[in-house]
Amino acid sequence: MINSKVILKAILPVVILGILALAFFAGQRPSSYYPVPLLKGSCPPGFKLNENNECIAKNLYSQYEKTNKAGVGGLKSALPEIRDGFSPQEIDLGRYLFFDPVLSADQTVSCASCHDPNKGLSDGLAVSRGIDNNKLKRAAPSLYNVGYLKKLFWDGRASTLEEQMLEPLFSEIEMGNTPENLLRTINDIENYKKLFAEAYPNRHKDEPILLKEITNAIAAFQSSLVSLNSKYDQYAHGYDGALNKNEIEGLNIFRSFVARCAECHTPPLFTNQQFAVIGTPEPDGLPLDPGAEIPFTDKSLRGAFKVPSLRNIAETAPYMHSGRFKTLRETVQFYTDGRGHAVPEGENLLIHWHIWEPNLTEYELDRLVDFLKTLTDESFKPKVPKVLPSGLRIPS
Amino acid sequence: MKKKSPFLKILGSIVLLGIGVFLGKSFFGQKNMETVPIPSSMKYRNVGHTKDTTQVASDREFTGKIIEVKKGSSIQDAVKEANPGDLIRVYPGTYSENVYIDKDDISLQGVVIKGEWPTLDGKKKINDAFLYSGNGILIENFKIINYKGNGIMGQAGNNFVIRNNWIIDTGVYGIFPQYGKNGLVEHNILSKIADAAIYIGMCDNVDVRHNEVFDNVAGIEIENSRHCLVENNYAHNNTGGLLAFVTPGLPIKTTFDVILRNNFVVNNNHENFGAPGSTVSGIPSGTGILIMAADDVIVENNIITGNNNTGITIVDLATGAPKANDPNSEGNPDRVVILDNIMFNNGNDPTGEIKAIMLTQMDTKGPDIFAYGGGTGSTIRDKNKYRTFGLDGYGASQITDTEDIATMMTPSPVPPRSVSKEELGELTYYGVCAGCHAFGTRLIGPPTEILQAIHYDNPQGIVDYITAPKNLREDYPEMPPQNYLSEEAKMAVAEYILALKH
């Protein structure tokens, strides 16, 4: 009894003090403060931290000889150069920005709205939606392995991620923001001030956050989104058992010169990063999308689009630039239905020479789909932040 | 004891030796040549002419086992069984299959017996006869017929040797190495191919020698490739005989440093049966040699006769392929060098644009050499010898021959990139394991330092665990087996994990 009284006496002041302190500090808390963890000091998977605090890409493809700069070839071929060397802090800050709808004019749309990690870093829509549910012209491409790409957008009109993201950020129908409003918003958020100061330690902490810091951080995060551990990759690195009989048959159809898929969707990235006019149909009622003809003012590129990577393709239906095909099966069918069969009347497109009449059988088309499904790997799927620096909720 | 004379002793021992050799031979010796000897890899060509050797082939030793494939069994099964260094010998018979080789250093050798070839027959149903992606692939002595895509196609794969094959109507291409460095294509006979019989695509350092190509749309095509020697080939009755060009829109943009030497380029007047839309479908029938947008091409000592359109056509992309547009492809053929060639009887029946252009010259015949469009620095050794058009800008060539260049292949095989054990461990750890394990933090699996504690000083323990994981910890999900990693990679990553400091 005595003992417990003594203990109680000792504990009571501590508890009271604790409650008081809590009340005191709670009162001090600024209303805009949300507890955001500090930026990560370690690199995302697929990257190794070097002594300069840079994340350097490391993967099993680095063991192969680089015989060409384009990073194209066969199973055991080196990848093209990736954009790496960002700091872990830049990458993690980029992750917060990527998921934060505060970047849009009405604070409802984030980058992740159209590039959702749970939808293969795409959005599952035929064409994406911007603010006010605006219907956009084209489908959101998956961002997996985007750090390896030298041209961005379906029509290749941007050549860096920083340049690319300015369009969705400031397009009236996408995120609808303006540079002035974005900078004002971000600079008003204490959390971002701290995080930017942490990610960009070389500048004075009180200097305003710059647009190029925002785009740099987002580019850092996007470049960290790699997917190179699919069943296909296991096969490519030498494990025969990774693919079953149907999938290997599919691979052989894929790379054969009858179907010619691999001529443009060249391993290891499954894109050769060139333009191709293949003449796919638009969704009903829509006019032909002129594609790369517009940014390059080149008639020979009418209807041309950048060859997309096929990695995680099974996760990113529907397919083609305007989502005309709902399934992979429909998509592969297109390639055997005849050269130019879906080109609207009156259009004279310069259809790519690899689009021909391979006369693939139903069986072969099924095997191609089997193979395409082996390109799925989301083992390095980015983590959605639990709390956003803006205090906004992640839109569901 | 009576002493035997030394003479008898010697005689006796010789007789005994003779009996021994006879018995030995009859019991143990080869009774007959039942197995066919492995060819000697042919270490020389053109004795007394050049110093060339088939370096790649002669450097290769069949270090592994020999797997024999006889009629009724499958070549692919043998490939599955084979390990790097093995030789697969295929006996006469018909094999209707698609053989794919995704391993390094595999040799496939047909054995021809009394004129009977091991024959791959696609029956116009199968896409390709051979597909390979490995380095150091040898394919020789096969008859390949009736495929829909290719006879032999490589995607990547350095140090390849493709020779002595007899290829008829295998669809789009006969022999098509793509993205390869250092290769040899020789002594093949190819006909009835709807695009190029031999197509060197986006390669480097390839010799194409001693092949016969006929009745194809294109005979031999060097496309977006560098450092290629096309020598001693016989190209006849194709739509176009020898081609060196740049196709725009491909990821590798250039063709340069190509020698076309000592070839017969004769009567290439076959009608064009190329697929609509293909680049070669635009080649006019009667084209001997076509150089389009390729740079530093040397044409030397060829016999170029009887090609009804032109002997040699040199054009830029804008002229040759006006459809295509690729700002990254430089479209002019620069520094073409024409040395001594024998040319006559070309241009007897010119077609299309060349006919129209020649008519403006009051000439109904096509020229031996026709150049049109851009390009600078091209030269010719003896312009007066030929009937030419468009060569006004060609100066006198600075060289007389290419005697010093015996081969374009690399002096020794392209070595595989050697990755140290530590590097392999690092690549595997960050490239694979890091999705679930990190130092100092829990991701999906336990933090790396816990792995270190569990398997302290015991890399084999990690190897065993990742090969067949047992779920030891309730608070973590079960790890999927990583048995797709090679034994080498598993041990390397195990050691790497144990050595990791932070």
**Closest in A77, A298, A356 to B275, CB measured:** A356
List the strands of the sheet with B99-101, edge to edge: B99-101, B128-132, B150-155, B173-178, B196-201, B218-223, B240-245, B287-292, B310-315, B369-372, B388-389
Same-domain check for residues A102 and A247: no
**Closest in A46, A60, A74 to B155, CB measured:** A74
Same-domain check for residues A61 and A163: yes
Residue A26 within a domain? no
- What's residue A198's pLDDT? 93
Residue A123 has pLDDT above 70, yes or no: yes
Determine the residue of chain B that is closest to A231 in CA distance: B484
User: Which A residues, 35 through 94, put their C-beta within 8 Å of a C-beta on chain B?
Assistant: 42, 45-48, 58-68, 70, 72-77
Give the domain-ending residue among B369, B391, B418.
B418
For residue B391, the distance in angstroms to the closest alpha carbon of chain A comes to 30
A284: exposed, middle or buried (Cβ count in 10 Å: 0-12, 13-18, 19+) = exposed
Q: Is some CB atom of chain A closer than 8 A to the CB atom of B277?
A: yes
- What's residue B55's pLDDT? 40
Residues from chain A that touch B276, judged by Cβ atoms under 8 A, are: 339, 356
Q: How many CB atoms lie within 10 A of CB B353?
A: 14
User: Which B residues, 452 through 481, put their C-beta within 8 Å of a C-beta on chain A?
Assistant: none
User: Measured between alpha carbons, how far is B120 from B97 in angstroms, rounded to an integer?
Assistant: 7
The residue type of B498 is: L
CA separation, residue A235 to residues A240, A244, A332, A371, B99 (Å):
5, 10, 22, 12, 16
Same-domain check for residues B369 and B294: yes
Same-domain check for residues B166 and B283: no
| pLDDT above 90 as % of chain B | 71
B311: exposed, middle or buried (Cβ count in 10 Å: 0-12, 13-18, 19+) = buried
User: Measured between alpha carbons, how far is A109 from B29 in angstroms, rounded to an integer?
Assistant: 84
Q: Please indicate whether, in this complex, the C-beta atoms of B486 and A238 are within 8 angstroms of each other.
A: yes
Same-domain check for residues A109 and A203: yes
User: Which B residues, 482 through 501, put their C-beta within 8 Å of a C-beta on chain A?
Assistant: 483-486, 489
For residue B180, the distance in angstroms to the closest alpha carbon of chain A comes to 8
A176: exposed, middle or buried (Cβ count in 10 Å: 0-12, 13-18, 19+) = buried
Report cis status (omega within 30 of 0) of the bond before A308: no
A357-363 long-range Cβ contacts below 8 angstroms, 24+ apart: A358/A258, A358/A259, A358/A260, A359/A258, A360/A253, A360/A258, A360/A259, A360/A332, A360/A335, A360/A336
Q: Please indicate whether, in this complex, the C-beta atoms of B325 and A300 are within 8 angstroms of each other.
A: yes
In degrees and rounded to multiples of 5, residue A365 shows phi and psi of -65, -40
Same-domain check for residues B453 and B477: yes
CA separation, residue A291 to residues A155, A322, B251, B277 (Å):
5, 11, 19, 21
Report yes or no: A62 and B427 within 8 Å, Cβ to Cβ: yes
Report yes or no: A58 and B423 within 8 Å, Cβ to Cβ: no
Q: Structurally, how many domains does chain B consist of?
A: 3
Q: What DSSP line would sit under B301-346, residue for residue?
A: S-EEE--SSEEEEEE-HHHH-TT---TTS-----S-EE---EEES-
Count Cα neighbours of B83 within 13 Å in the Cβ-side half-sphere: 3
Determine the residue of chain B that is closest to A40 in CA distance: B441
Q: What is the mean pLDDT of residues B408-427?
A: 90
Read off the CATH number of the domain in which A137 is found.
Answer: 1.10.760.10
User: Residue A205: which pLDDT band, with cuts at 50, 70 and 90?
Assistant: confident
> Residue B140: which of B90, B177, B215, B179 has the closest Cα?
B90
User: Residue B417: which pLDDT band, with cuts at 50, 70 and 90?
Assistant: confident
Q: pLDDT tens, B360-377?
A: 888 889 999 999 999 999
* Three-state DSSP state, A162: helix
Q: pLDDT tens, A275-320?
A: 999 999 999 888 999 999 999 999 999 999 999 999 999 999 999 9
User: Which B residues, 30 through 49, put their C-beta within 8 Å of a C-beta on chain A?
Assistant: none
Residue B429 has pLDDT above 60, yes or no: yes
| pLDDT above 70 as % of chain B | 90
Q: Please indicate whether, in this complex, the C-beta atoms of B277 and A42 are within 8 angstroms of each other.
A: no
* Three-state DSSP state, B175: strand
DSSP secondary structure code for residue B367 in this structure: P
Residue A29 within a domain? no
In degrees and rounded to multiples of 5, residue B246 shows phi and psi of -110, 125
Task: Cite the DSSP H helix spans in chain A.
Answer: 2-28, 88-99, 111-114, 161-170, 179-187, 190-199, 211-223, 231-236, 245-255, 261-264, 293-296, 328-334, 362-372
Range of the domain at A105: 47-223
In degrees and rounded to multiples of 5, residue B28 shows phi and psi of -110, -20
For residue B28, the distance in angstroms to the closest alpha carbon of chain A comes to 41
Q: pLDDT tens, B11-31?
A: 777 777 777 666 655 555 444
Q: pLDDT tens, B283-306?
A: 999 999 999 999 999 999 999 999
- What's residue A19's pLDDT? 58
Q: Please indicate whether, in this complex, the C-beta atoms of B155 and A301 are within 8 angstroms of each other.
A: no
- CA B392 to chain CA centroid, Å, is 38
Same-domain check for residues A275 and A311: yes
User: Which A residues, 175 through 234, put their C-beta within 8 Å of a C-beta on chain B?
Assistant: 228-229, 234
Report yes or no: B230 and B258 within 8 Å, Cβ to Cβ: yes
Provide the token pair at B334.
């620069």
Same-domain check for residues B261 and B402: yes
User: Residue B40: which pLDDT band, with cuts at 50, 70 and 90?
Assistant: very low
Residues from chain A that touch B432, judged by Cβ atoms under 8 A, are: 59-60, 229
- CA A378 to chain CA centroid, Å, is 12
Q: What is the mean pLDDT of residues A123-136?
A: 95
Q: What is the mean pLDDT of residues A255-283?
A: 96
Same-domain check for residues A207 and A63: yes
Residues from chain B that touch A47, judged by Cβ atoms under 8 A, are: 430, 434
Report cis status (omega within 30 of 0) of the bond before A318: yes
Residues from chain B that touch A234, judged by Cβ atoms under 8 A, are: 484
Q: Please indicate whether, in this complex, the C-beta atoms of B176 and A257 are within 8 angstroms of each other.
A: yes
User: Residue B441: which pLDDT band, with cuts at 50, 70 and 90?
Assistant: confident
Same-domain check for residues B92 and B115: yes
Q: Structurally, how many domains does chain A consist of?
A: 2
Residue A177 within a domain? yes
For residue A261, the distance in angstroms to the closest alpha carbon of chain B comes to 12
Report yes or no: B370 and B328 within 8 Å, Cβ to Cβ: no
Same-domain check for residues B222 and B370: yes
User: Which A residues, 247 through 306, put their C-beta within 8 Å of a C-beta on chain B?
Assistant: 248, 252-253, 255-259, 262, 266-267, 272-276, 296, 298, 300-301
Same-domain check for residues A178 and A310: no
Residue B399 has pLDDT above 80, yes or no: yes
Q: What DSSP line would sit under B190-210, residue for residue?
A: EE--SSEEEEEES-EEEEEES
**Torsion, Cα of B112, B116, B121, B123 (10° steps):** 170
Higher pLDDT, B326 or A17: B326
| pLDDT above 90 as % of chain A | 85
Provide the token pair at B25.
């031979």
What ipTM goes with this model? Answer: 0.85
Report yes or no: A80 and A150 within 8 Å, Cβ to Cβ: yes
Residues from chain A that touch B202, judged by Cβ atoms under 8 A, are: 68, 72
Residues from chain B that touch A241, judged by Cβ atoms under 8 A, are: 483-484
Same-domain check for residues B243 and B336: yes
User: Measured between alpha carbons, how far is A226 from A224 in angstroms, rounded to an integer?
Assistant: 6
> Residue B188: which of B201, B203, B176, B202 has the closest Cα?
B176
Residue A356 within a domain? yes
- What's residue A6's pLDDT? 61
Q: Which of B75, B124, B152, B155 to mutate to test the interface with A (most CBs of A within 10 A)?
A: B155
Q: What is the mean pLDDT of residues B264-278?
A: 93
Q: Over the Cα atoms of chain A, what is R_g? A: 25
Residue A27 has pLDDT above 90, yes or no: no
Query: CB within 8 A of A19, min separation 6: which ones?
Result: none
Strands annotated E in B180-300: 181-186, 189-191, 196-201, 204-209, 212-214, 218-223, 226-231, 234-236, 240-245, 256-261, 264-266, 287-292, 295-300
Same-domain check for residues A208 and A257: no
**Closest in B134, B153, B435 to A257, CB measured:** B153
Read off the CATH number of the domain in which B451 is found.
Answer: 1.10.760.10
CA separation, residue B229 to residues A131, A195, B237 (Å):
59, 59, 21
- What's residue B476's pLDDT? 84
* Three-state DSSP state, A192: helix
To which residue do tokens 């980058």 refer? A111
Same-domain check for residues A91 and A148: yes
**Closest in A46, A239, A298 to B431, CB measured:** A46
Same-domain check for residues A141 and A89: yes
User: Measured between alpha carbons, how far is A80 from A67 in angstroms, rounded to an integer?
Assistant: 10
Residue B167, by phi and psi: left (phi above 0), alpha (psi -120 to 50) or beta?
Answer: beta
Give the lowest-confidence range in A17-21, A147-151, A158-162: A17-21
Residue B5 has pLDDT above 80, yes or no: no
Same-domain check for residues A66 and A133: yes
User: Measured between alpha carbons, how far is B343 from B355 in angstroms, rounded to an integer?
Assistant: 19
User: Residue B1: which pLDDT band, with cuts at 50, 70 and 90?
Assistant: very low
Same-domain check for residues B119 and B245: no
Q: pLDDT tens, A215-239?
A: 999 999 999 999 999 999 999 999 9
Same-domain check for residues B401 and B449: no
For residue A14, the distance in angstroms to the closest alpha carbon of chain B comes to 33
Residue B59 has pLDDT above 60, yes or no: no
Residue B5 within a domain? no
Give the lowest-confidence range in A97-106, B77-86, B444-453: B444-453
Same-domain check for residues A174 and A301: no
**Torsion, Cα of A115, A117, A119, A123 (10° steps):** -20
User: Measured between alpha carbons, how far is B173 from B216 in angstroms, rounded to an integer?
Assistant: 9
Provide the token pair at A314.
């099974």
Q: Please indicate whether, in this complex, the C-beta atoms of B127 and A252 are within 8 angstroms of each other.
A: yes
Range of the domain at B352: 190-418
DSSP secondary structure code for residue A311 in this structure: T
Query: CB within 8 A of B492, min separation 6: which ones?
Result: B421, B422, B424, B425, B428
Residue B180 within a domain? no
> Residue B320: which of B274, B365, B283, B358 has the closest Cα?
B283
Residue A348 has pLDDT above 80, yes or no: yes
Same-domain check for residues B466 and B485: yes
Pairing of strands A55-57, A47-49: antiparallel
**Closest in A274, A301, A352 to B251, CB measured:** A274
Same-domain check for residues A278 and A183: no
Residue A203 has pLDDT above 50, yes or no: yes
User: Residue B54: which pLDDT band, with cuts at 50, 70 and 90?
Assistant: very low
Same-domain check for residues B236 and B367: yes
Q: What is the mean pLDDT of residues B56-61?
A: 49
In degrees and rounded to multiples of 5, residue B266 shows phi and psi of -130, 135
In degrees and rounded to multiples of 5, residue B462 shows phi and psi of -65, -45
Same-domain check for residues B377 and B463: no
**Closest in A42, A72, A257 to B149, CB measured:** A257
Q: Is some CB atom of chain A closer than 8 A to the CB atom of B285?
A: no
Q: Please indicate whether, in this complex, the C-beta atoms of A229 and B431 are within 8 angstroms of each other.
A: yes
- What's residue B81's pLDDT? 96
User: Measured between alpha carbons, how far is B150 from A202 in angstroms, rounded to an integer?
Assistant: 58
Residue A38 within a domain? no
The residue type of A386 is: K
